[in-house]
Structure 1
Amino acid sequence: MSRPPISTYRVQLTPDFGFAQVAELAPYLRDLGVSHVYLSPVLQATPGSRHGYDVTDHSRVREEFGGLKGLRELAETLAAHDLAIVLDIVPNHMTVPVPESGNAALWSVLRDGPASPYASWFDIDWNGGKVAMPVLGDATEPRVDGPVLRYHDHEFPHPGHYRLVDWRQGPGYRRFFDVSSLIGLRVEDPAVFLATHEVILWLVDEGLVEGLRVDHPDGLADPAGYLARLRRRTGGLWTVVEKILVGEERLPGDWACDGTTGYEVLNRITRLFVDPAGERPLVELFHELTGWPDGCRDTMIRAKREVVELFFQSEVSRLARAAGADPAAVAELLVAMPVYRTYVVPGHGPPPEAVEIVRRAAATCSPAVRPFVEQVLYGDAETITRFQQTTGPVMAKGVEDTALYRWFPLACLNEVGGEPDHFALDPATFHAFCGELPPHTMTTLSTHDTKRSEDVRARLAVLSELPDEWAEAVRGWSAQVGSGDPHLDYLGWQNLMAAWPISAERLADYLLKAAREAKTRTSWVKPDPAYEAALREFAARAVELPVGEFTARIDAHAMANSLGQKLVQLMLPGVPDVYQGNETTDFSLVDPDNRRPVGYPRTPAGEWDEAKLLLTTQALRLRRRFEAALPYTPLAAEGAAAEHALAFARGRRAVAVATRLPVRLARNGGWGATSLRLPPGTWHDLLTGGTPYTGKIPLAHLLHRYPVALLENHDL
């Protein structure tokens, strides 16, 4: 069995940044201190794809990146620098666009129907004898071109076992969320598993890959069964899953993996640096400026109800047909579910926690839902599995991609898996959570899917300590510039301030995506050109205002938050991941903004950059010098400012100290006589290189240069 990573560095591969370009980073990444390079999907995808999750061919490494030869050469180069590879894999879906040279498996199924040798690959509803393909959008007639039927950019075999329907209509197959261009795979079938994992398993067998990140396991028919098969076949390879855990939810105990990709850690770290005293004034300001009537939970329920009606009618109908249930009852229970999935497995009896969650959700529904509740818990395999595969997309589209763009008193809390009405987290609760973290789970602060980078969130967290100053500033800006939609304007002001400096074009692109996701005045399905033009005009005028002056006033505090959250993430139990470029400051917004090219080597542009790069490098190098399973021990400061210190030890080897709520700390006169008693040993500060520390240390002395300290015991 290969070694688990000590740390990872996520690199986003693109057609113009492939394996050869990553290989050039090897000396830089080695010196940074990471142990593994974590690559975005590498299998053949739609030509030109900037993300790689739209796989077209599982039998090939993507030619645009350099193909299998390029990947082997990359692995050799990395190995020469004591680095290895972690791969992001996509077991849930493939791309639907099926030109004859692309997804050959799906082309075969559309041409030959159930008689195709690939018919078992895809989760298709053959109700009516043909699979519905939702592509039609205007009066243009499809045209036959020899063996191909063409409709705009779409190509299909002619004739075939499909029917073209309106693009707004749901497809005749399970898809990724509401994305009809991605068709669900049936990897629960062992033959499909082997066929779709062929290249990945070769790479593991050859020792070229030492870890896997599994994309969207909640979409699978049997996540636990899939992970068990994957672990057996890879010999126990380190594996983490992209799983969103809500509230106190934990990863299912029967999943054969090392942990998650870290969103539950990310959100708790963010809340650790948010002042609970800011909740009431910021919520009141949000209502004042936006006129938004609902609270967070009401907003989520309303958004989920809307997305079910807009996007998931085909899924509701298929599930209702399987259960012999009323579609309205099916939709009602889907909306009421508070988590992404409850992991009921047909024939095994539902876990007690699943029964509790489903029944509690049903208690908020009409009596018509009760018979359906029994079916999703104790019914036939088709009903149970379909329900399990549908709750996640409803949560994702209703909460992540709708409600979080509607209710945002403090936007740093509106992250994937976040609960924006849970404003803050106290150190004791945070320590208790960290003490239970699996030793090899992934921890993160920024990813290719986060809605804001970690440093944008660090700036936004400062607003919780300065609600009055923020209110004065944003009222002044709003009096000068508006789009006609004060609700979206307020989201714009938060992100403009926190991502500063930002171009009008980048801000406009963000606002356009946010507005379409919110679906209150425009949407992807029904765009409003006049409204969207007003947003672009708003962005052009807003960036001309002195918003950067406010940002500059708070940046010393934002830097403290940024360094504090980075230190905590890098030193917690688990495998810390650094998203490309975030070893220095990064002020990116939601994709595609956060997937822009990154320049290397990262050259510090100021004090914040220098401090963050120094901290990241020293922490990652330290991680390479100690065992991952070292105990996590909270350390308590003593004195009037004790609440502003977050400190912990990793065994007898390392101590991390971070400053939290820096505005209030400064207003109260700083650290004063507050001190921290270090564990036994002689402790060297890896950031300042100053005189070693022992015993009880005044925090004013320990943190005199940086708002964080990273100490290593040199007695060991």
Structure 2
Amino acid sequence: MSRPVSTYRVQLTPDFGFAEVAKIAPYLRDLGVSHVYLSPVLQAVPGSLHGYDVVDHSRIRQEFGGAQGFREMAGVLAAHDLAVVVDIVPNHMNTANAQFLSVLEEGAASPYADWFDIEWREGKVIVHRFADDLPQSEHYTVVDWREGPGYRRFFDVSSLIGLRVEDPAVFFATHEVIFWLLDEGLVEGLRIDHPDGLADPRRYLDMLRDRSGGVWTVVEKILIGDERLPDDWACDGTTGYDVLNRVNGLFVDPEGRQPLVALFTAMTGQDADYHAVMARSKRDVIDLFFRSEVERLARVAGASVQDLVDLLVEMPVYRAYVTPGEPVDPVARRIVESAAPNPEIARAVLYGSPEAVVRFQQTCGPVMAKGVEDTALYRWYPLACLNEVGGEPDRFGLSVEDFHDFCAGMRPFTMTTLSTHDTKRSEDVRARLQVLSELPGEWAEAVRGWSRQVSFDPHLDYLAWQTLMAAWPISAERFTDYLLKAAREAKTATSWIAQDHAYEEGLRAFAAKAVELPIGDFTALVDRHAVANSLGQKLVQLMMPGVPDVYQGNERTDFSLVDPDNRRPVSFPCAPNSAWDEAKLQVTTQALRLRRRLGPDAPYEPMAAEGEAAEHAIAFGRGRAVAVATRLPVRLAARGGWGATSLTLPHGSWRDLLTGGLYSGRTPLAHLLSRHPVALLERHDL
């Protein structure tokens, strides 16, 4: 069973199933990927466009073609030297499933009562009215949606109930299809959704590796700052958000921080301190969504609700890993103790009952996800390309040296990415926004000019202008849909659970007027430099250590926004429509094909340019390959270009796969990068 060299993420839908994937096999083979990475394939809610709402673990989704369709697709892919990676959802399933219905009908006597993470109250489970035809039974109590249900959920989604996969019977029952796909050789890799929701992620991964035979496995683990994946997890790495944020930082100018934060606070009236906004956001979502979870935790921990709220608000990461019955990891202890309002509450969640220890960790993740990803990032956005999953929006820029240090510590088979089905905006939207860190004055003038013509809500307008410029051209419909989601996530004037219809009508009117302004004039100015960022971050991500993933359609330019916008259908083959498209497709294709030739063990070798413009180059070797990219292109142009700055290549002759040019020894960057802002070199004399 081979490990992937690279992956290509495909979003399956009822209109794009296994047969459609098989049809694009020649295109993906020619692109250079080794594995096709599919969204969830098990039977989900009918019509689901994402597949994370599984209702039956014993069947492959019929809308996609069922088990026979999967086999036929896998056969076609194999004939084109492609294998399959699948996305699996161990943490939860949709409540509209036969097992939970049995629990509602039979209560604790149901053979499936142990499947779900339920807090039984007087022999009953507390539920929301998730279906109109909910049968009458003495085994449950229906409550208002404002009161949390009596079971662990996926975040705040009451229709997604938490599974107890720590129970071997539940583990094998919910993974039976995945295992026969592995046993038949139809799948060669697994992506694990939301491991932080599990009672014991490490034990789950141990069980998975024991049964799967060590198949390539990556986990959707969100790491904050310098946090690293636990060393004892039986997996190959993460799904790449840690990489995404660092690659993004390479192309952001730290000198833009002060003027952009000042502009943001002036435009919005928001606090200049991101951490204060984040704390308020986390308190808000606890009050809105997670009061029942905190109260349940307080009961098992013997602690006050207020102390637990204060602790959850100050937790800086999604989870501090503590396993009941084992010594507490010193790093986890320091994290919790520094966040705790008092020593007693820290002891309760670190050294208390096994249920208290585990449930605290399972509560941290939802509070972080809803409080930060889905609230704070929509309230505090001086430079929106920094507002990404796992990102730190007040941290502007990353030095080349820090990036090299990060790469030196990477797991060799971790996944790397720039865009996913869950990113807040696509990589090319971020490439345009990165330019604003180098043009804060010009940007401020443009935004103030637009705002004088059209305005609506100071808390939203500045995000709207960034989005409109960076996603241009965009239809009024798409722009409106994005702003509605952003406003509801921010929860300052309207929300998903308390929609202000008058406000939302005003927002629609604002969007319709805003798209009529000549935003494209400023976008054209930005694009003179955004192309360099787009190609640079793509080349770096594809050639750095790890297994690079390409999200569907992002082998050419893509200006998508947060889901569902980024899950729109892609027309294959992805033919270029512009010179930028052509260049990005060429970079992607040449890098993916080169990765297949290099093999997995090519060492990462940092390289340093020499000369006055050296800071504008990021370069590294990968065995018989060298990647070179331009960074901070606005400041580079302002200084007159590369001048005499050069890069000394390793011994031998090197061919640029993008231009065909041959180079050796000390090479002027003005020469190497004269046609493209990036270069991809392969040793020519072997």
- 3-state DSSP of counterpart to 1:182: strand
Asked whether the 8 Å contact 1:573–1:629 carries over to 2, the reply is no
Q: Residues 330-369 of structure 1, C-alpha deviation per residue, up to 9 Å, x if partnerless?
A: 211111111100110000021000110001111xx2x4xx
Task: Give the letter for the 2:637 counterpart.
Answer: A
- 3-state DSSP of counterpart to 1:638: coil
User: What residue is the counterpart of 1:39 in the other structure?
Assistant: 38
Q: CA shift at 1:48, angstroms?
A: 0.4
User: What residue is the counterpart of 1:508 in the other structure?
Assistant: 480
Is 1:334 matched up with 2:312? Answer: yes
Is 1:662 matched up with 2:633? Answer: yes
1:16-55 → structure 2 map (5 Å cutoff): 16-55=15-54
User: What residue is the counterpart of 2:194 in the other structure?
Assistant: 216
User: What residue is the counterpart of 1:375 in the other structure?
Assistant: 348
Aligned counterparts of 1:677 and 1:294: Cα–Cα separation in 2: 43
Is 1:202 matched up with 2:170? Answer: no
User: What residue is the counterpart of 2:511 in the other structure?
Assistant: 539
Asked whether the 8 Å contact 1:242–1:261 carries over to 2, the reply is yes
Task: Give the letter for the 2:118 counterpart.
Answer: I
Asked whether the 8 Å contact 1:349–1:378 carries over to 2, the reply is no
1:278 aligned to 244, 256, 260, which one? Answer: 256
1:288-367 → structure 2 map (5 Å cutoff): 288-362=266-340, 365=341, 367=342
Task: Give the letter for the 1:321 counterpart.
Answer: R
User: What residue is the counterpart of 1:148 in the other structure?
Assistant: none
1:260-275 → structure 2 map (5 Å cutoff): 260-275=238-253
User: What residue is the counterpart of 1:257 in the other structure?
Assistant: 235
Asked whether the 8 Å contact 1:266–1:443 carries over to 2, the reply is yes
Aligned counterparts of 1:357 and 1:610: Cα–Cα separation in 2: 47
- 3-state DSSP of counterpart to 2:466: helix
User: What residue is the counterpart of 2:501 in the other structure?
Assistant: 529
- 3-state DSSP of counterpart to 1:704: coil
User: What residue is the counterpart of 2:365 in the other structure?
Assistant: 392
Task: Give the letter for the 2:120 counterpart.
Answer: W
1:616 aligned to 560, 584, 588, which one? Answer: 588
Aligned counterparts of 2:512 and 2:635: Cα–Cα separation in 1: 35
Task: Give the letter for the 1:13 counterpart.
Answer: L
Q: Residues 543-564 of structure 1, C-alpha deviation per residue, up to 9 Å, x if partnerless?
A: 0000011001110200000000
Instruction: Identify unmatched segments of 5+ residues in structure 2.
Output: none
User: What residue is the counterpart of 1:57 in the other structure?
Assistant: 56
2:112 aligned to 112, 118, 122, which one? Answer: 118
Q: CA shift at 1:494, angstroms?
A: 0.1
Aligned counterparts of 1:303 and 1:174: Cα–Cα separation in 2: 22
User: What residue is the counterpart of 2:427 in the other structure?
Assistant: 454
Q: CA shift at 1:294, angstroms?
A: 4.6
- 3-state DSSP of counterpart to 1:154: coil
Asked whether the 8 Å contact 2:261–2:272 carries over to 1, the reply is no
Is 1:245 matched up with 2:232? Answer: no
Q: Residues 504-537 of structure 1, C-alpha deviation per residue, up to 9 Å, x if partnerless?
A: 1100000000000000111111110011111111
Deviating 4+ runs (over 4 angstroms): none
User: What residue is the counterpart of 2:651 in the other structure?
Assistant: 680
Asked whether the 8 Å contact 1:9–1:34 carries over to 2, the reply is yes
Aligned counterparts of 1:154 and 1:679: Cα–Cα separation in 2: 69
Asked whether the 8 Å contact 1:671–1:700 carries over to 2, the reply is yes
Q: CA shift at 1:328, angstroms?
A: 1.4
Aligned counterparts of 1:128 and 1:429: Cα–Cα separation in 2: 56
Aligned counterparts of 2:43 and 2:158: Cα–Cα separation in 1: 19
2:673 aligned to 687, 703, 712, which one? Answer: 703
Aligned counterparts of 2:272 and 2:663: Cα–Cα separation in 1: 52
Aligned counterparts of 2:139 and 2:665: Cα–Cα separation in 1: 76
Asked whether the 8 Å contact 1:654–1:712 carries over to 2, the reply is yes
Is 1:573 matched up with 2:573? Answer: no
Q: Residues 185-208 of structure 1, C-alpha deviation per residue, up to 9 Å, x if partnerless?
A: 000000000000000000000000
- 3-state DSSP of counterpart to 1:658: strand
Q: CA shift at 1:159, angstroms?
A: 2.3
- 3-state DSSP of counterpart to 1:132: strand
Aligned counterparts of 1:30 and 1:389: Cα–Cα separation in 2: 41
Identity %: 72
User: What residue is the counterpart of 2:159 in the other structure?
Assistant: 181
Aligned counterparts of 2:98 and 2:420: Cα–Cα separation in 1: 32
Q: Residues 7-26 of structure 1, C-alpha deviation per residue, up to 9 Å, x if partnerless?
A: 00000000110000110000
Aligned counterparts of 1:715 and 1:382: Cα–Cα separation in 2: 62
Is 1:4 matched up with 2:10? Answer: no
Alignment RMSD? 0.8
Length-normalised TM-score, structure 2: 0.99
Q: CA shift at 1:372, angstroms?
A: 2.0
User: What residue is the counterpart of 1:551 in the other structure?
Assistant: 523
Kindly tell me: are residues 209 and 160 of structure 1, through their superposed partners in 2, closer, same or farther at Cα, counting changes over 3 Å? farther
Q: CA shift at 1:160, angstroms?
A: 4.6
Q: Residues 67-106 of structure 1, C-alpha deviation per residue, up to 9 Å, x if partnerless?
A: 000000000000000000000000000002x2xxxx1111
Aligned counterparts of 1:303 and 1:69: Cα–Cα separation in 2: 47
Aligned counterparts of 2:166 and 2:652: Cα–Cα separation in 1: 53
- 3-state DSSP of counterpart to 1:225: helix
User: What residue is the counterpart of 2:621 in the other structure?
Assistant: 649
Aligned length: 686
Is 1:163 matched up with 2:134? Answer: no
Aligned counterparts of 1:593 and 1:162: Cα–Cα separation in 2: 38
Aligned counterparts of 2:296 and 2:350: Cα–Cα separation in 1: 17
Aligned counterparts of 2:118 and 2:401: Cα–Cα separation in 1: 49
Asked whether the 8 Å contact 1:94–1:184 carries over to 2, the reply is yes
Aligned counterparts of 1:161 and 1:219: Cα–Cα separation in 2: 26
Q: Residues 621-668 of structure 1, C-alpha deviation per residue, up to 9 Å, x if partnerless?
A: 0000012121111110011110000000012x1000000000110111
- 3-state DSSP of counterpart to 1:634: strand
Aligned counterparts of 2:56 and 2:289: Cα–Cα separation in 1: 28
Task: Give the letter for the 2:133 counterpart.
Answer: E
Q: CA shift at 1:154, angstroms?
A: 3.0
Task: Give the letter for the 1:90 counterpart.
Answer: V
Aligned counterparts of 2:310 and 2:647: Cα–Cα separation in 1: 53
Asked whether the 8 Å contact 2:303–2:348 carries over to 1, the reply is no
User: What residue is the counterpart of 1:140 in the other structure?
Assistant: none
Q: CA shift at 1:157, angstroms?
A: 2.9
1:426 aligned to 394, 399, 414, which one? Answer: 399
User: What residue is the counterpart of 1:404 in the other structure?
Assistant: 377
User: What residue is the counterpart of 2:90 in the other structure?
Assistant: 91
Is 1:693 matched up with 2:663? Answer: yes
Aligned counterparts of 2:356 and 2:112: Cα–Cα separation in 1: 24
Q: CA shift at 1:481, angstroms?
A: 0.4
Aligned counterparts of 1:372 and 1:430: Cα–Cα separation in 2: 37
User: What residue is the counterpart of 2:685 in the other structure?
Assistant: 715
Is 1:635 matched up with 2:634? Answer: no
